[in-house]
Amino acid sequence: MRDVASVGISVIKMEKVLLLLAGVSVLYALDNGLGRTPPMGWNSWERFRCNVDCDNDPENCIGEKLYMQMADRMAADGYKDAGYEYVNVDDCWMAKERGPDGKLQADPKRFPSGMKALGDYIHSKGLKFGIYEDFGTQTCGGFPGSKFFMETDAQTFADWGVDLLKLDGCYSNIEDMTSGYPIMEFFLNKTGRPILYSCSWPAYFVAYKKIPDYKAIAKSCNIWRNYDDIQDSWDSVTEIVNYYAKNKGNFFEVAGPGSFNDPDMLIIGNFGLSRDQQRAQMAMWAIMAAPLLMSADLRKMDPYSKSILLNKDVIAINQDPMGQPGSIILDMNQIQIWFRPVMPKGSAAFAVLYTGSYGTPEKLSLKCETLGMVGPGGYNVTEVFDGRYVGMFKSADNINITVNPSGVFLGKAVYLGN
Ligand code: GLA
């Protein structure tokens, strides 16, 4: 057994734990009343990409049928009841040209009923309708962008009953984003329809090696992409987690109700992750207070993946009403410890992530302080995925934890000192 207790409190960023416990107030949130907890839903991009070949692949192409079927599955298979609500159309939904009136139009062959009808269908299932556009002249997939049409597009989306807009940043000048993204926020607000605003603005700054102004971003956007697109692999998940661990630009500090970092979609239920890796992605997205946007074929989910996506206790951590994201407090030899304050007051969720692949589970003995359990009153600790009670611990006690290779131990420590 590896004894990490001896590493002790000195290596952890103690100030960070205390600040997190104190509940640093968030002054920057976009005040449209939306996204008080991280939004949950489904997005087509990671799994279905820009497949426009409805002639040869009618089941999987970007068209109204796909979104209607996903809405059906979300409503019937327990996803909606678990909190997943947005059905998000991503890129490649449009016709190649705007209409004669300058308005965006859906591809008529793939969306024969039109976007308003699709929105109505999604709403009829008790779900919300998300759509994708781009800040520049074209979307990343080469369809008409919003540049010079922002007011028209905001109104078109409101007329269609859109509830979420993801505004990407391909084919644009990043210098324009600082003024331009807030202008779209203004036009969205002007429609009078509450539309959750998802911005890719910081991800483009990061791609150009510039530090984004996260305070400004959090003022205008409900969620924002900080980094590269997720792909269907463990390497991609760990690359993203490692990026967030660095917190470059202090983006975790501006997050809170109404404003959340978006490390991109959940790839649980696809081809690239083992069972442990799927748990690890879900755990880390819960700890980071990330939007839970599934991108998998809900018509073909295997029961294990589905059970992870529907795990109520993990979702409860993600949706904690304080909306305070966690952060990394220890990073050592492929073991990362992340800590997130959650309700009831003084309690915490913690993730022990083992990113390595040294084929046998790691057995760790960790001093509770090292996991962020610093309160004098003691904690009841539960392993979250299986709901297994681990025991009652004081901060000076050691806790024994086993973590599988490329896996996670997700714990909830309920504070007993209130
Ligand atoms: C960018 C975004 C992705 C997706 C694609 C669509 O790469 O980051 O999430 O929307 O564009 O083309």
CA 230 to chain centroid:
11
What single-letter DSSP state applies at residue 194?
-
Contact in structure between 261 and 289 (CB atoms under 8 Å): yes
**Roughly how many angstroms between the first and final C-alpha of the chain, as a whole number?**
34
Q: Say which residues have a Cβ less than 8 Å from residue 56's Cβ, sequence separation at least 6.
A: none
What is the 47 CA–ligand 1 centroid distance (Å)?
12
Residue 15: predicted pLDDT: 52
Residue 7: predicted pLDDT: 37
pTM: 0.95
229 catalytic? Reply is yes
The Cα 310–Cα 282 span in angstroms is: 10
Q: What ranges in 221-274 are assigned the alpha helix state H? A: 234-246, 251-254
The Cα 106–Cα 103 span in angstroms is: 10
Closest by alpha carbon to 107, among 141, 62, 148? 62
Contact in structure between 172 and 152 (CB atoms under 8 Å): no
CA 114 to chain centroid:
28
Instruction: Assign residue 192 a region (left: φ > 0; alpha: ψ between -120 and 50; beta: otherwise).
Output: left
Beta carbon of 168 within 6 Å of any ligand 1 atom:
yes
The closest-lying atom of ligand 1 relative to the alpha carbon of residue 139 is 12
Residue 30: predicted pLDDT: 75
Which residues of the chain fall below pLDDT 50? 1-13, 24-26
Rg over CA atoms, the chain: 22
Residue 4: predicted pLDDT: 45
Residue 277: predicted pLDDT: 98
Cite the beta strand spans of 135-204 per DSSP E.
164-168, 196-199
Residue 333: predicted pLDDT: 87
What is the 172 CA–ligand 1 centroid distance (Å)?
14
Beta carbon of 120 within 6 Å of any ligand 1 atom:
no
Residue 22: predicted pLDDT: 56
Partners of 330 in the β-ladder: 337
Beta carbon of 229 within 6 Å of any ligand 1 atom:
yes
State how beta strands 327-332 and 292-294 pair: unpaired
CA 232 to chain centroid:
15
Closest by alpha carbon to 413, among 312, 309, 338, 336? 338
Residues in the chain: 418
Q: Which of 107, 163, 168, 262 is catalytic?
A: 168
Burial label for 332, CB within 10 Å (0-12, 13-18, 19+), is exposed
Q: Which of 72, 77, 229, 276 is catalytic?
A: 229
168 catalytic? Reply is yes
Residue 261: predicted pLDDT: 98
Backbone angles phi, psi at 221, to 5 degrees: -120, 145
- Counting residues of the chain whose pLDDT is more than 90, the rounded percentage is 92
Residue 26: predicted pLDDT: 46
Position 97, amino acid: E
| Closest C-alpha residue for ligand 1 atom 8 | 229
